[in-house]
Structure 1
């Protein structure tokens, strides 16, 4: 159980660091771009979405590897074992959409719960970041 906790913690820390770096780089980049403020916001949204996609892939790779390894559990249902199915599953978990067409079993279930919580926090962080950026650029017109 301690190994599961440590692996899950490492995956979450990786996702949070990636998210922080994306938002930090956007904070540095957006004011330097010489375009209309509307386009800066669009670039900010695109950067945040790209960051989320990278984070989803981190979790997806973990699901893919855990599914293939002994002792971590497995995914069943509308899941053929491919990396793209793991990415689809990760997107539904990260966004807390959870269609339910793929079910986790075994130790792998713990990562799905923490991914949902992580996704919720990181999406909220992005929303807060974009709100601050919108205020900054819209107040300077």
Structure 2
């Protein structure tokens, strides 16, 4: 159990680091030069999706290593040869969609719960970042929105 807790803490810290650096990158890009806000929002959403995929992948690797190289639990319903099952399971846990076709056992249940909590926090952080940047930099007059609404 201690190994799973340590691995999970490491994965949470790595995920937060990936996310923090992605947000800093997008924030600096917007502040340094005059960019088209629509393009910036589109690029930021794609970039944040990439950050989330990296974070999910970190947890998927964690599950894979703990299942294959230790007696820390299993993902029941997965075919052990397919690493895509670990990735799929990690996506389901991270996004808190719920699961049923693949179910964790033993200590992996704790890792799953903490991945879900981490995913919720990081997804909310992404949304609040985009909203905050839109409020700060979006000018409806400049974008032509107010002219179209009249």
TM-score normalised according to structure 2 size: 0.86
Q: Secondary structure at the match of 2:75?
A: strand
Q: For residues 80-130 of structure 1, what are the alpha-carbon distances to aligned partners after superposition, in whole Å with 9 as ceiling and x for unaligned?
A: 122111110000000000231100011111110000000000000000100
The answer to whether the 8 A contact 2:7-2:62 is kept is: no
Higher deviation after alignment, 29-38 or 115-124? 29-38
Tell me the equivalent position of 2:133. 133
Cα distance in 1 for residues equivalent to 2:3 and 2:79: 26
Cα distance in 2 for residues equivalent to 1:83 and 1:34: 43
Count of residue pairs brought into register by the alignment? 140
Tell me the equivalent position of 1:80. 79
Unaligned runs of 5+ in 2: 143-150
Tell me the equivalent position of 2:68. 68
Cα distance in 2 for residues equivalent to 1:135 and 1:47: 19
TM-score normalised according to structure 1 size: 0.91
Tell me the equivalent position of 1:30. 30
Cα distance in 2 for residues equivalent to 1:63 and 1:52: 17
Q: Secondary structure at the match of 2:126?
A: helix
Tell me the equivalent position of 1:115. 115
Higher deviation after alignment, 64-73 or 52-61? 64-73
Q: For residues 6-38 of structure 1, what are the alpha-carbon distances to aligned partners after superposition, in whole Å with 9 as ceiling and x for unaligned?
A: 221111111111110111111112344654211
Cα distance in 2 for residues equivalent to 1:74 and 1:29: 43
Cα distance in 2 for residues equivalent to 1:7 and 1:122: 18
Unaligned runs of 5+ in 1: none
